[in-house]
Amino acid sequence: MSNQEFDVVVIGSGPGGYIGAIRMAQLGLKTAVIEKDATFGGTCLNVGCIPSKALLESSEYYSAAKHDLQQHGVEVSEVKLNLKTMLSRKDKIVSDLTGGIKYLFDKNKITSFQGTGKLKSANKIEVHKNDGSTEVVSAKNIVLATGSIPNTLPGIKYDGKKIITSTEALNLDKVPKKMIVIGAGAIGLEMGSVWARLGTEVTIIEYSKQIGGPTDSGIAKRFLQILKKQGLNFVLEAKVSSAVVEEPMVKISYESLKDGKSTELHADVLLVAAGRIPFSDGLGLENLGIEKNQRGFVVVDSHYRTNHPHIYAIGDLTPGPMLAHKAEEEGVAVAEIIAGQYGHVNYETVPSVIYTWPELASVGATEEQLKEKSIEFNSGSFPFTANGRAKAMGMTDGIVKILADKTTDRILGVHILGPRASDLISEAVVAMEFGGSSEDLARSFHAHPTLSEVLREAALNVDKRARQM
Ligand code: NAI
């Protein structure tokens, strides 16, 4: 039994848990974190955002060396893939970053417990350690930040080899000849892109009419065209109904939602990227009657409080977009609330990014959402083809679209399909956070020549006065 009592114990060390814990410690709260995995960082650092970005970066270099360097006058005679090196580079990035969290915990005097945390009472947590022993930790406040796991689909059973989740897709020891991906969301498009660049024939089957989730439909159409041009195959408006391993292949059946027709496909690997579900197994929520909704998300109020006044929940475990930066902001907000401050998250300005090439980044409303709500708006677009820097880089695929309120000109949504969209979107987030208008963006300096000038031209085009085209 631990004789320590903490002001806050956080269960889970993903972006929500570890960023929240650091803020708690900064605010003078005696803080502990319980983590079941061997390393800190949760899905994002270990098997999500970070390793996938490492592979996206490496596979982009490989693809550029094979296809794009010639146009720059750089001739490479024999481009060879060393998958082992690519994967170990990714592993090294992950271990550096997860080790970095340990350093941050020590620096901020945060106590960590390795094991699975289970709620015993409103202020006691039992930690089941990996060596079989248990320890009880006391806390005045508890923050649940246990994240999410891949969704399962009826009729499809993961075997970790032929039918895999994104976790295994980060570690394939050879390049498969054929891969089928279920879902054209962030994971499907990112991991599909990685393996397609490395030489796999990738087919992505998607239930909806468009790719990239609830993206602006005009942008989604353009995105689809560009990815198809890169060699990715898509089957839209189709539902995968079953998948069985028939060594050495996996057989997939899908039904067209348009005509009900069934089709069978074979592949070396099936990646299921059909969303994620909140993870609270073994957490003991039932011991305290903590309320979950029908989809398994823990129900919280606007202060992240569960139906227990001193037990909070944040991140993927709670409703809202399953994004690392959403969890981080909630971690900070909950820390400030526990410390008696006014923690707050502005959900109107959560950006979302798909890190393909080009990248797709959005913040705020789509055109369709504004029409649905009968909000009148002006729209301004501008393509990367007309931007000097994009031309110099040889990366002109894409477009920026800005939607602004018809009366006030306040920015309501920004959608960027283009090179480095993930970085460019921050300008839009800040502008929206300050209640900025398209005129504000249009009148702000943008260094020349930069990709950010496309945003400015799109802002000028809200008033139909772009200069470069
Ligand atoms: P997602 O929810 O973004 O996309 C899943 C897609 O699968 C949907 O478009 C859905 O229509 C489709 N689908 C579901 N069942 C299907 C079926 N039986 N047949 C055909 N299509 C089907 O989920 P994803 O990509 O798995 O990502 C999980 C979570 O992780 C998401 O919340 C995502 O935002 C987050 N994530 C974010 C990343 C980023 O910010 N870049 C990267 C990776 C994941």
The verdict on the CB of residue 176 being under 6 Å from ligand 1 is no
pTM to 2 decimals? Answer: 0.97
Task: Name the residue type at position 131.
Answer: D
Q: Which residue intervals of the chain bear CATH 3.30.390.30? A: 349-462
**CATH of region 3-150+277-345:** 3.50.50.60
Q: Which residue intervals of the chain bear CATH 3.50.50.60? A: 3-150+277-345, 163-274
The verdict on the CB of residue 404 being under 6 Å from ligand 1 is no
Between the two ends of the chain, the Cα-to-Cα distance in Å is 70
Pinpoint the alpha helices (H) of 65-157: 83-107
> What is the structure's pLDDT at 71?
93
Is residue 120 within 8 A of residue 285, CB to CB? The reply is no
Q: How far is the centre of ligand 1, averaged over its atoms, from the C-alpha of 212 (Å)?
A: 8
The verdict on the CB of residue 206 being under 6 Å from ligand 1 is yes
The continuous run of DSSP H or E covering 252 comes out as: strand 249-256
Interaxial angle between packed helices 49-63 and 83-107, expressed in degrees from 0 to 180 and rounded to the nearest 10: 150
Q: Which CATH superfamily is domain 163-274 in?
A: FAD/NAD(P)-binding domain (3.50.50.60)
Is residue 455 within 8 A of residue 441, CB to CB? The reply is yes
> What is the structure's pLDDT at 2?
56
Nearest CA owner, ligand 1 atom 6:
183
> What is the structure's pLDDT at 467?
82
The verdict on the CB of residue 47 being under 6 Å from ligand 1 is no
Catalytic residue from among 67, 72, 344, 448: 448
Nearest CA owner, ligand 1 atom 40:
353
Residue length, the chain?
469
Could you tell which of 157, 207, 256 is best to mutate to test the pocket of ligand 1, judged by most ligand atoms within 8 Å of the CB? 207
The verdict on the CB of residue 239 being under 6 Å from ligand 1 is yes
Nearest CA owner, ligand 1 atom 12:
183
**pLDDT by position in tens, the chain (length 469):** 556 799 999 999 999 999 999 999 999 999 999 999 999 999 999 999 999 999 999 999 999 999 999 999 999 999 999 999 999 999 999 999 999 999 999 999 999 999 999 999 999 999 999 889 999 999 999 999 999 999 999 989 999 999 999 999 999 999 999 999 999 999 999 999 999 999 999 999 999 999 999 999 999 999 999 999 999 999 999 999 999 999 999 999 999 999 999 999 999 999 999 999 999 999 999 999 999 999 999 999 999 999 999 999 999 999 999 999 999 999 999 999 999 999 999 999 999 999 999 999 999 999 999 999 999 999 999 999 999 999 999 999 999 999 999 999 999 999 999 999 999 999 999 999 999 999 999 999 999 999 999 999 999 999 999 886 5
Is residue 414 within 8 A of residue 366, CB to CB? The reply is no
- DSSP result, 194-230: HHHHTT-EEEEE-SSSSSSSS--HHHHHHHHHHHHHT
The verdict on the CB of residue 271 being under 6 Å from ligand 1 is no
Q: How far is the centre of ligand 1, averaged over its atoms, from the C-alpha of 468 (Å)?
A: 37
Nearest CA owner, ligand 1 atom 30:
322
Q: Which residues contact 149 (CB under 8 A, 6 or more apart)?
A: 276, 277, 279
> What is the structure's pLDDT at 130?
82
Q: Which two tokens stand for residue 328?
A: 């981080």
Measured CA distances, 140 to 9, 114, 161, 305 (Å): 8, 20, 44, 14
Q: Which residues contact 323 (CB under 8 A, 6 or more apart)?
A: 350, 352
Is residue 334 within 8 A of residue 22, CB to CB? The reply is no
Could you tell which of 187, 204, 357 is best to mutate to test the pocket of ligand 1, judged by most ligand atoms within 8 Å of the CB? 187
The verdict on the CB of residue 425 being under 6 Å from ligand 1 is no
Q: Which two tokens stand for residue 400?
A: 């920026």
Query: CATH second-level architecture of 349-462?
Result: 2-Layer Sandwich (3.30)
Active site residue 415: no
Q: CA-CA distance, 106 to 387, in Å (whole number)? A: 47
The verdict on the CB of residue 156 being under 6 Å from ligand 1 is no
> What is the structure's pLDDT at 174?
97
Nearest CA owner, ligand 1 atom 35:
322
Q: How far is the centre of ligand 1, averaged over its atoms, from the C-alpha of 283 (Å)?
A: 25
Q: CA-CA distance, 223 to 12, in Å (whole number)? A: 35
